[in-house]
Amino acid sequence: MVGEFDFIARHFRPLAGEGAMELRNDGATMSLPEGEELVLSSDTMVEGLHFLPDDPARTVAQKLLRCNLSDLAAMGSSPRHYMLNVSVPVGRHYDEAWFAEFAAGLAEDQERFGITLLGGDTTGSPSPLMLNVTILGAVRRGETLRRDGGRPGDGVWVTGTLGRAALGLQVRLGKIDASPDGILVQSYRIPSPRVGLSLYGIVSAAMDISDGLVQDCGHIAEESGTAITLFEEALPLSAEVKAYLPDWRETILLGGDDYELLLTCPVEQEEALQTHCRAHAVPVTKIGKVTEGQGVTMLDKNHEPIRFTRTGWQHF
Amino acid sequence: MVGEFDFIARHFRPLAGEGAMELRNDGATMSLPEGEELVLSSDTMVEGLHFLPDDPARTVAQKLLRCNLSDLAAMGSSPRHYMLNVSVPVGRHYDEAWFAEFAAGLAEDQERFGITLLGGDTTGSPSPLMLNVTILGAVRRGETLRRDGGRPGDGVWVTGTLGRAALGLQVRLGKIDASPDGILVQSYRIPSPRVGLSLYGIVSAAMDISDGLVQDCGHIAEESGTAITLFEEALPLSAEVKAYLPDWRETILLGGDDYELLLTCPVEQEEALQTHCRAHAVPVTKIGKVTEGQGVTMLDKNHEPIRFTRTGWQHF
């Protein structure tokens, strides 16, 4: 028939799993085991804003899935399926070869994370390339992690390390020199969502860091009706990130795209948190505390509040 | 905080329903009653392709929901919730007032169709305005309507009437004069999805007409492994559409955006189909038959095959 249908058949039909009816219908179906509820999240990536036009198609695909997988991880949900919406600019370099690589990247991560394509929509459009995923996961009913459970006295914790992806973007923009091992750019291009942890009953609030540590702490503080104090000295920074201090301090402290989990945890659950994360080989570090009040403060090594020129990623 | 969060709070938080957690989390949750499965469909609308920049914000919102509702209707599913993704071009006329009207249109149709907003994503972007909905419905497990069940001997049926929306687009493009009552433009702007019918066990295949009658019959024929013959004389055309014959014949016969249901029905179920549709005040008309073979043929009043210059809406 016409272009859309061939295009979908070539690139996306091989990715379709149970319930997708081979992408041959108006939609798709999905069942849930008894006692579970559905968790949904959606993220759009726009060329030039969330990825660069010359990023490899394979990593663009994987970043798209992983940003969404990270949202599920933040809600304590196991990923199952995703809907994919693609708006393809006509007459650009997003050609057959590009989409074959894009589909290969999706296929790799489907395998890695145990998910399948369920359905979606493909349309032509003027530039830029726009990619959207709505991801679907499952969780035991009532066991979804939320942002609003932080209580004064809780510790603030973060998985992994911070700042690599933000520096990686600066490398891509030609503003700083690349690290020889390419780890910064790779962190920018392919996040590692923290799926697979089971933190319900341990942590009091959770979200993933996409817009930057301070701004995302602000969300937990606001939704929880509390303040958050962070300690710069406590932040987990890897050696290749520390190498860019002090010049790129603000980029490192505020930069987004980490896709690590930001958690608040009652003191009596700290040991359980550390034990659980160790069992899953996920580093976790205490970086601050929840207090009465509002807003987010980061204290430097002299316990002076740091004044930033901005808070984090601006969407508009 | 930053623009995105205020924007979402102002316009979209009032639309959020159960499971959306007031759009304050990384995602949303949804439960399903026992014995039901989820049905999902997703449609993107691009300014200039699927709506015009000066279409009223309210009707743009309603068309967005209704295209998706129509997909659920075609699968025999009751609508429950939707995820909304919006990419807002900076510096255009899509301002606060526009989005207030857009949200009012969504609110009206939420009420009308019994659905609520579950979550989504808002981002800035270069032009054009891009709108995407993933809609979520429920159906008794195993009772989803599909496109692949048409069998030789079945009749081909369509709800409502055809051609108004396609002519409405031509009015909007200034190519034909408007009908005095505005019904053509209104049909283009605000489709009437056929939700609420229960056709499982009656029809053998179903889909909605979005790309045009002939092209969409082609999908049922292809998925069912059959041919379809349509009779021009049998097509339900309203008086205001007939007024544009014969000049706009191809537009009327091939035009998309009808969002009526296209059904195949075994002869022994014809009475059940008509009775059920009559009970729901939905007109339904037999317009053709499923036969052995492949492809779609439309016969004119002399039973000669009509040769079209194209098949329907081209997505790319």
Which residue in chain B is spatially nearest to A145 when comparing CA positions?
B25
Q: What number of CA atoms fall less than 13 Å from residue A67's CA on the CB side?
A: 23
Q: If you measure CA to CA, which chain A residue comes closest to B207?
A: A26
Q: Are residues A113 and A238 both part of a single domain?
A: no
For residue A225, what is the domain's CATH number? 3.90.650.10
Q: What is the rounded average pLDDT of the residues A193-197? A: 96
Q: Summarize pLDDT for A218-276 with one digit per residue, the tens.
A: 999 999 999 999 999 999 999 999 999 999 999 999 988 999 999 999 999 999 999 99
Which pair of structure tokens corresponds to residue A15?
A: 């990715």
Residues A246 and A78: their CA atoms lie apart, in Å, by 39
- Whether residue A281 is predicted with pLDDT greater than 60 in this model: the reply is yes
Query: In which domain, by residue range, is A134 found?
Result: 3-140
Residue A214's pLDDT band (boundaries 50, 70, 90)?
Answer: very high
Average pLDDT over residues B269-290: 98
User: Does the pLDDT value for residue B36 go beyond 60?
Assistant: yes
CB nearest to A38's CB, from B29, B75, B124 = B29
The confidence score (pLDDT) of residue A127 equals: 81
Residue A179 marked in a binding site = no
pLDDT in tens, B95-117: 899 999 999 999 999 999 999 99
Ligand-binding annotation for B147, yes or no, is yes
Domain assignment present for B150: no
Q: How far is B243 from chain A (nearest CA, A)?
A: 30
| A154 annotated binding-site participant | no
Least Cα separation, residue B212 to chain A (angstroms): 12
Contact A146 B21 (CB under 8 A): yes
Count structural domains, chain A: 2
- The response to whether A216 counts as a known ligand-binding position is no
Q: Chain A: nearest CA to B179, how far in angstroms?
A: 31
B204 domain-assigned? yes
The answer to whether A302 faces chain B, any CB pair under 8 Å, is: no
Q: List all residues of chain A from 58 to 117 with a beta carbon under 8 Å from chain B.
A: 71-72, 74-75, 77, 83, 85, 87-88, 90
- Whether B44 maps to a domain, the answer reads yes
> Span B246-255, mean pLDDT?
93
Per-residue pLDDT tens for B5-30? 688 888 999 999 989 988 888 899 99
Is residue A125 within 8 angstroms of chain B, CB to CB? yes
- In angstroms, what separates the C-alpha of B182 from chain A's closest C-alpha? 29
DSSP class per residue in A263-303: EEE-GGGHHHHHHHHHHTT--EEEEEEEESSSEEEEE-TTS
Q: Do B2 and A314 touch (CB under 8 A)?
A: yes
pLDDT tens for A55-72 read 999 999 999 999 999 999
Task: Assess A239–B contact: CB distance below 8 Å, yes or no.
Answer: no
* Model confidence at A290: pLDDT above 60: yes
CA distance A70 to chain B (A): 9
The CA distance from A228 to B273, in Å, is: 62
Model confidence pLDDT, tens digit, residues A85-133: 999 998 888 989 999 999 999 999 999 999 999 999 898 888 899 999 9
Instruction: Please report the DSSP string for A101-129 in residue order.
Output: HHHHHHHHHHHHHT-EEEEEEEEEESSS-
Work out the average pLDDT over B70-85.
Answer: 96
- The answer to whether position A125 is within a domain reads yes
Quote the pLDDT of residue A313: 53
Angle between helices B96-113 and B3-11 (to 10 degrees): 40
Q: Is the CB of A222 inside 8 Å of chain B's CB atoms?
A: yes
Examine the domain organization and report whether A167 and A90 are in the same domain.
Answer: no
Beta-carbon separation of A316 and B215 below 8 A: no
User: Best interface-test mutation with B: which of A34, A36, A40 has the largest number of B CBs within 10 A?
Assistant: A40
Local structure of residue B269 (DSSP, 8 states):
G
* pLDDT, average across residues B70-81: 96
Give the residue on B whose Cα is nearest the Cα of A47. Answer: B125
Q: With 90 as the cut, is the pLDDT of residue A4 above it?
A: no
Best of B10, B83, B134, B228 to substitute, by most chain A Cβ atoms within 10 angstroms, is B134
What residues of A are in contact with residue B132 (Cβ under 8 Å)? 44, 85, 121, 132
Interface of A with B in 44-63 (CB under 8 A): 44, 46, 48-50
Q: Measure A293 CA to nearest chain B CA, in Å.
A: 16
Structural domain ending residue among the three candidates B140, B168, B201: B140
Is B1's pLDDT higher than 60? no
Flag whether A253 is in a domain.
yes
> What percent of chain B is predicted at pLDDT more than 70?
97
Q: pLDDT tens digit string along A9-47? A: 889 999 999 899 888 888 999 999 899 999 999 999 999
Query: Which of B:245-284 have CB within 8 Å of A?
Result: none
Q: What is the pLDDT of residue B312?
A: 62
Is B122 an interface residue toward A (CB < 8 Å)?
yes
Measured between beta carbons, the chain A residues lying within 8 angstroms of B311 are: 1-2
- Dihedral pair phi/psi, residue A220, rounded to 5°: -65, -45
Pairing of strands B78-89, B116-125: parallel
**Cβ neighbours of A27 in B, within 8 Å:** 39-42, 71-72, 74-75, 77, 135
- Is the pLDDT assigned to residue A1 strictly greater than 50? no
User: What is the nearest CA distance from B28 to chain A, expressed in angstroms?
Assistant: 5
Interface confidence (ipTM) of the complex: 0.90
Co-location of B58 and B160 in the same domain = no
A294 touches chain B (CB under 8 A): no
Mark whether A160 and A279 lie in a shared domain: yes
The H or E element that residue A37 is part of is strand A36-46
B315: pLDDT confidence band, cut at 50, 70 and 90? Answer: very low
- Structure-derived torsion over alpha carbons of residues B5, B10, B13, B15, reported in degrees to the nearest 10: -140
B183 plus B222 within the same structural domain: yes
8 Å CB contact of A40 and B118:
yes
List pLDDT tens digits, range A141-176: 999 999 999 999 999 999 999 999 999 999 999 999
pLDDT at A193 over 90: yes
**Domain containing residue B96: CATH number:** 3.30.1330.10
Do residue B123 and residue B7 come from a single domain? yes
Are the beta carbons of B87 and A127 separated by less than 8 Å?
no
Q: Which residue of B has its CA nearest to A71?
A: B26
Asked whether residue B168 falls in the same domain as residue B265, the answer is: yes
Q: B42: closest CA among A282, A264, A135, A235?
A: A135
How many Cβ contacts (< 8 angstroms) between chains A and B?
220
Residues B131 and B189 in one domain: no
Kindly report the average pLDDT of chain A as a whole number: 93
Q: pLDDT higher for B261 or B19?
A: B261
pLDDT at A3 over 70: no
Looking at the structure, do residues B231 and B293 belong to the same domain, yes or no? yes
A174 Cβ neighbours under 8 A, 6+ residues apart: none
Q: What pLDDT is attached to residue A90?
A: 83
Return the ∠ at Cα A306 (arms to A303 and A310), rounded to 5°: 160
Q: What is the pLDDT of residue A41?
A: 95
A110 with A165, same domain: the answer is no
Q: In a mutagenesis test of the B interface, which of A13, A23, A29, A31 is the best target, namely the one with the most B β-carbons within 10 Å?
A: A29
Q: Residue A117's pLDDT is what?
A: 96
- One domain, residues A30 and A123: yes
Q: What is the pLDDT of residue B316?
A: 44
Which of A140, A173, A208 corresponds to the end of one domain?
A: A140
Let me know whether A26 and A125 are in one domain: yes
What was the pLDDT predicted at A268? 98
Chain B contact for A134, CB < 8 A? yes
Q: How confident is the model at residue A316 (pLDDT cuts 50, 70, 90)?
A: very low
**Cross-chain Cβ contact B218/A31 below 8 Å:** no
Report the run of H or E that residue B71 belongs to, with start and end: helix B57-74
How far is residue B279 CA from its own chain's centroid? 22
> Is pLDDT at A5 greater than 90 in this prediction?
no
Is residue A63 one of the residues assigned to a domain? yes
Report yes or no on B245 lying in a domain. yes
B119 close to B71: Cβ distance less than 8 angstroms: no
Nearest CA in chain A to B32: A37
pLDDT of B249: 94
3 state SS of B236: coil
Classify residue A130: in a domain, yes or no.
yes
Query: Is A93 exposed, middle or buried (CB count within 10 Å of its CB: 0-12, 13-18, 19+)?
Result: exposed
